[in-house]
Amino acid sequence: MDQNKSHLLIVEDDSELAQWMREYLIAKDYRVSLCDRGDSAVKFIQQHHPDIVILDGMLPGLDGIDVCKAVRPEFTNAIIMVTARDEEIDEVLGLEMGADDYLTKPVRARALLTRIRKHLDRQTSLKQADVKVTSSAPTQRLVFNNLVIDKLAMEVLLNGIQIKLSSNEFDVLWLLAEQAGQLVTREQLVHQLRGFDYDGFDRSIDLRISRLRKKLGDEPAQPFRIKTIWGKGYLFAKDAWK
């Protein structure tokens, strides 16, 4: 098996759907593994660290949301949730627990492939940034009193303690911190992080911000570190990191 190919894990208990996705993605030149239980998926992800996880919401053993919750503290690659129910609550819960994207069933081949390629491209760009830094490169390390954000190491330290973030959470934080003290609109965040124009309904950015606030000790009711500018976007406070 070619170890240079991107490794995808499909976690799906519908064997017919799982085999269809596996065959389709193998034909697109990916390396594909299958799990049909949530508890088995947790062990597999922790052991093999696949490039992308395509995760069904309803599974035996552990459901998809619990799988996200279990692996997200250490797993920084993309998780794409798949739900059989076209309900916002499924999407919201999945994104809150650490999923990076979502699809609803029936899964469309082109939509699945587009999501996979988008997340792999982002992960590749982050890895390439680690080895292409020169003395004339843009700032790769931001310091705000007791908060240190290191883009090369993908590391965040607050009061000397490492804060574990997913790659997508780190992307949001870096974009906001680069423009500290300035409004960053939802349109800008969606366009840069999701690759398409904001339609007024996408909740994924808001949920990433919510996760960031919890991890960075911000007040959920009255955030003072990553402020919400109602109806517009967010502002990263320069002097709130003491």
- Which option is the CATH number for 141-236: 3.90.1200.10, 3.50.50.60, 1.10.10.10, 3.40.50.2300? 1.10.10.10
Q: Does pTM surpass 0.85?
A: no
Beta strands 78-83; 101-104: pairing state: parallel
Q: What is the pLDDT of residues 6-51, one digit of tens each?
A: 999 999 999 999 999 999 999 999 999 999 999 999 999 999 999 9
* Contact yes or no for 141/151 (Cβ under 8 A): yes
Q: What fold, for 7-130?
A: Rossmann fold (3.40.50)
Is residue 198 over pLDDT 70? Answer: no
Q: What is the pLDDT of residue 35?
A: 96
CA atoms within a 13 Å half-sphere pointing along the CA-CB vector of 100: 28
Q: Give Cα 42 distance to the centre of its chain.
A: 17
Is residue 127 over pLDDT 50? Answer: yes
Nearest to 141 by CA among 124, 128, 154: 154
Q: What is the pLDDT of residues 46-89, one digit of tens each?
A: 999 999 999 998 899 998 889 988 998 788 888 998 887 655 55
Residue 202 is given by DSSP the state -
Confidence category of residue 128, pLDDT binned at 50, 70, 90: low
Query: What does the domain layout of the chain look like in residue ranges?
Result: 7-130, 141-236
